[in-house]
Amino acid sequence: MAQLGSGALIIALALAIYGILAGVIGARRNVPELVDSAVRAVWGVTALILVAAASLITAFATHDFRLVYVAGRSSVDMPLHYVLAAFYGGQEGSLLYWSMIAGLLSSLALLLHRQRDRALVPYMAATVLSVETFLLVILTVVASPFTLYPAALTPTNGVGLNPLLRDPGMMAHPPFLLAGFASFTVPFGFAMAALITGRLGSDWIRAIRRWALVSWGILGVGLLLGAWWAYHVLGWGGYWGWDPVENVALLPWLTATAFIHSVIVQERRGMLKVWNMSLVVASFILSVFGTFTVRSGLISSVHSFAVSPLGPWFLGYLSLVIIVAVGLVVYRIPGLQSDRAIESVVSRESGFLVNNLLFTALAFVTFWGTVFPLVSELFRDTKLTVGPPFYDQVNGPILLALLVLMGIGPLLAWRKSSPRLLLKNLFWPVMAGLIVIPPLLYFLRAPIPVIALAVTVFGLGTVVLEYVRGARVRRRNTGESYPRAVVMLVRKNGRRYGGYIVHIAMALLAFGIIGSHFFQVERQFTLNPGETATIRGYTLTYQGLENRMTVEGQVIGAKLAVAKNGVHRGDLESYRFFYRNYENQPTARMGIKSVGLDDVYVVLDQWDTTGNSQVVSLRIFINPLVNWIWLGGVVYVIGMLTLLWPAPSPARQRTASPVREAVLREA
Amino acid sequence: MSSGVMINPAPGRMPWLNPKLVVAGVVILIAVGFLVFQGMQSTTMAYFVTVGELEQSSASVDGRVVRVGGDVQPGSIVQGSVGQPLQFNVTDGVHSIPVSYSGSIPDIFADNTQVVIEGTYHSNGTFQADTLTTKCPSKFEAAPGGGATQSATS
């Protein structure tokens, strides 16, 4: 298996280098056969990487502990799904997975665009293959997943996967996040092809938008799953800690979000071309930076590995990409001039521009905070770090400004909005925002979160208004019922109304983040069986400790009954797992019980099992509105799928256009 | 080169630069810059030091928020009874300091674990840690963005 895998990777490397040459020479000398050969090289490289991945997975499934990588991450007694997840549980495997996803998506993109965007194809293929070449060099020379133990030293059983990773959330989170990073290869490939060929018109932007959406969607899901996993496994009561590794995963998502907004301006008005190109390139660079930061220990993070030989390789590659990409953008600036000027400050165009400024500001602040220890060490000789309060204080207002813009932007007209009409349109959303202030203030008695909630209601109000208006026009023109009109609205104009679904998701996320950020309470209790803990109206009765053995190890669990205002609302159990081989690392599994809007969240800190004593030390959190974050995540996925859903055929679109015109007129 | 129809070719090299918009953009950038500046000033920034550096510069960091990285000295962990603070020593191999911590204990916490503690340092006594973060041992290889914030705040 190992020979098959490493052999496949070496052949893939050779094929990738051949493909780059074939693509470039084929395009320059105009030899279609060579260009086709380059495209087939991408498919071939992908197939070979798949062979390597399959052989690694087979090695895991058959417990082939001759492989250092397999022995270090799995063991005979682990359930099969975790054994298979161990495939991407380490450095070498995750890079193999990265190259596999990049290959698969690029192959698909080339298959779909091979005919329509013929001019872009050779350089697209060459760019993708250059990315693959870099990864394949790493996978064959620096960090091969197929390294073998000397025959005499082959262990009979593996160490097993780190307990922290043995969780359903961990099954899904890394593959999505890595796939998100890897998928930026496709938009980057298109961007480089457009820059190299000088075809900077509308064709590349059409090709790229969809693929940028794919990356943005996958990465977003990866981030949300990471938050979910942290909340359920890590036991500090939160879902996002502004840890460097979380930050670097957020960065490409922010620039991609900026791009999918500003690309609309380029499509509609032919503006912001240099800017859009830069955002695509930046998203890819930040993805590589994200992959590299975790791997190199560059920034002190809980995730960083001791010292990895990969650091210089990634740093070198990153510099190369930056030099080439920035050089190309600068070289092509004359071809990237805007077709038109922004006519008015009160216009959709400038709304998008402000949106982009805010998203890039978020990305910049996050980047600055993340690399600040390095910067301070360079200039001040001391290593200074900034913590979550810094991000809360700086990013909080920017996020709030984005929510305000979410309420205004969709109501702005292209080119020039009449301020009077805008004010008239804003009436209901503003009223919705204002009307919630007095009751919220009365119940919550804290001005800052109330303002934040009101702004979110305002942003949501605009989305609702847009749906109501669109549905009303459809109903008038077609006689459809309101629910049907809303569904048809989304189906006929998925880009606009699908985008609004994502706006709804963002509002839900905002509610959840505001609620849990400002109104979380936490207390520590030491309890004997039968004793109760009271925290914000909740009474938790500790019922005793459970101690049992499972196949994977020992489990200690504290059982509690949850009551609110004297009414029993359910039971929960908070665990510690002692996995075999990781006995000194008792892994927590939180007990979480959702009651109404709150999560009752219990961490088992300490316990005493000597004699008859079952005394435990528990940390109990009340986390309001966290469930809305997960709900927002589900809505995000629905919105993303709506955006990616193929547009209706031109014939059907034509029948829909009078309605759309009417909607536009009314707006 | 550009395929869009040139309806009203704008004058100048940067035709989209509408003066009012430039002003709006500059205002936003200044606001963000101010936020960053404020954030750096008012939120506690922690000095990241090793145990040795802490002992050397104990006078200058007395009473300040400090982040210390080091290893848990083997045999120094005193769990106390349930509900009592955790006591242990952090060492860089040469020097060591006593630490008291009463927050929740991260999963990976044992002798020789690499830890980062953050708290207020008083040169004359125990380091009172507010947060205890374990650095993952080399075996732990979270995938990128694994989100493994193995930290706990008291």
pLDDT digits (tens, 9 = 90+) for A241-257: 888 888 999 999 999 99
Does position A199 have pLDDT exceeding 90, yes or no?
Answer: no
Chain A nearest-CA distance from B86, in A, is 11
Work out the average pLDDT over A123-146. Answer: 92
Q: What percent of chain A has pLDDT over 70?
A: 92
Check residues A606 and A120 and name the one with the higher pLDDT.
Answer: A120
Least CB-CB distance to A335: which of B2, B24, B47? B2
Does position B39 have pLDDT exceeding 90, yes or no?
Answer: no
In this complex, do B104 and A619 lie within 8 Å of one another by their Cβ atoms?
A: yes
Report the pLDDT value the prediction gives residue B41, as an integer from 0 to 100.
77
Report the pLDDT value the prediction gives residue A102, as an integer from 0 to 100.
96
- Which alpha helices (H) appear in A239-347, and where do they start and end? 244-269, 273-296, 310-331
Q: What percent of chain A has pLDDT over 90?
A: 44
CA angle A278, A283, A288 (to 5 degrees): 125
**Average per-residue pLDDT for chain A:** 86
Chain B nearest-CA distance from A471, in A, is 33
Report the pLDDT value the prediction gives residue A155, as an integer from 0 to 100.
80
Work out the average pLDDT over B15-35. Answer: 81
Highest mean pLDDT among A32-46, A195-209, A413-427, B113-127: A32-46
In this complex, do B104 and A605 lie within 8 Å of one another by their Cβ atoms?
A: yes
Locus of tokens 């990738």: A16
| Model pLDDT for residues A588-606, shown as the tens digit of each residue | 788 899 988 999 999 888 8
Work out the average pLDDT over A250-274. Answer: 90
* CA nearest to A430, candidates A413, A409, A449, A455: A455
Report residue A622's pLDDT band, with 50, 70 and 90 as the boundaries. Answer: very high
Q: State the DSSP code for A209.
A: H
* CA nearest to B88, candidates B65, B107, B105: B105
Report the pLDDT value the prediction gives residue B25, as an integer from 0 to 100.
85
Residue pair A623/A516 in contact (Cβ under 8 Å)? The answer is yes
Report the pLDDT value the prediction gives residue A621, as an integer from 0 to 100.
92
Test mutation, B71, B139, B153, B154, chain A, max A CBs within 10 A: B139
Cα–Cα dist A63/A77, whole Å = 10
Does position A375 have pLDDT exceeding 60, yes or no?
Answer: yes
- How far is C-alpha A564 from the chain's CA centre? 36
A293: CB partners within 8 A, 6+ apart: A244, A245, A248, A299, A301, B144
Residue A5, both tokens? 């895998």
Report the pLDDT value the prediction gives residue B135, as an integer from 0 to 100.
60
Q: What percent of chain B has pLDDT over 70?
A: 61
Work out the average pLDDT over A396-404. Answer: 94
Check residues A257 and A205 and name the one with the higher pLDDT.
Answer: A257
Does position B152 have pLDDT exceeding 70, yes or no?
Answer: no
ipTM for the complex? 0.75
| Model pLDDT for residues A485-520, shown as the tens digit of each residue | 888 888 888 888 999 999 999 999 999 999 999 999
Q: If residue B116 lies in a helix (H) or strand (E), which one and from where to where?
A: strand B114-120
Residue pair B112/B71 in contact (Cβ under 8 Å)? The answer is yes
Least CB-CB distance to A302: which of B49, B81, B148? B148
Work out the average pLDDT over A343-352. Answer: 84
Cα–Cα dist A644/A234, whole Å = 34
Q: If residue A657 lies in a helix (H) or strand (E), which one and from where to where?
A: helix A650-666
Torsion sign across C-alpha atoms A255, A260, A266, A271: negative
* CA nearest to A169, candidates A239, A74, A96: A239
Work out the average pLDDT over B20-31. Answer: 86
Report the pLDDT value the prediction gives residue A664, as an integer from 0 to 100.
46
Does position A360 have pLDDT exceeding 90, yes or no?
Answer: yes
Least CB-CB distance to A393: which of B43, B133, B152? B43
- Which chain B residues are within 8 Å of A344, Cβ to Cβ? 18
- Which chain B residues are within 8 Å of A227, Cβ to Cβ? 147
A403: CB partners within 8 A, 6+ apart: A452, A455, A456, A458, A459, A506, A507, A510
In this complex, do B138 and A89 lie within 8 Å of one another by their Cβ atoms?
A: no
**Which range, of A74-78, A419-423, A457-461, averages the lowest pLDDT?**
A74-78
Torsion sign across C-alpha atoms A337, A338, A343, A345: negative
**Which range, of A44-58, A182-196, B16-30, averages the lowest pLDDT?**
B16-30
| Model pLDDT for residues B129-144, shown as the tens digit of each residue | 887 876 654 333 433 3
Residue pair B131/B151 in contact (Cβ under 8 Å)? The answer is yes
A370 phi/psi in degrees, rounded to 5: -70, -40
In this complex, do B149 and A243 lie within 8 Å of one another by their Cβ atoms?
A: yes
Buried-exposed string A356-395: b where 16+ CB fall within 10 A, e elsewhere: bbbbbbbbbbbbbbbbbbeebeeeeeebbbbbeebbebbb
- Which chain B residues are within 8 Å of A393, Cβ to Cβ? 35, 38-39, 42-43
Work out the average pLDDT over A92-115. Answer: 92
Report the pLDDT value the prediction gives residue A72, as an integer from 0 to 100.
81
Residue pair A560/A542 in contact (Cβ under 8 Å)? The answer is yes
In this complex, do A340 and B16 lie within 8 Å of one another by their Cβ atoms?
A: yes
State the amino acid at position A360 in one-letter form: T
- Which chain B residues are within 8 Å of A389, Cβ to Cβ? 43-44
Test mutation, B140, B151, B153, B154, chain A, max A CBs within 10 A: B140
Cα–Cα dist A510/A512, whole Å = 5
Neighbours of A84 (CB within 10 A): 16
Work out the average pLDDT over A638-665. Answer: 61
Report residue A192's pLDDT band, with 50, 70 and 90 as the boundaries. Answer: very high
Test mutation, A287, A303, A605, A618, chain B, max B CBs within 10 A: A303
Residue A638, both tokens? 């629905």
In this complex, do A394 and B5 lie within 8 Å of one another by their Cβ atoms?
A: no
State the amino acid at position A308 in one-letter form: S
Cα–Cα dist A116/A207, whole Å = 9
Residue A161, both tokens? 């996967």
Report the pLDDT value the prediction gives residue A647, as an integer from 0 to 100.
67
Report residue A169's pLDDT band, with 50, 70 and 90 as the boundaries. Answer: low
Report residue A203's pLDDT band, with 50, 70 and 90 as the boundaries. Answer: confident
* CA nearest to A620, candidates A547, A556, A525, A532: A525
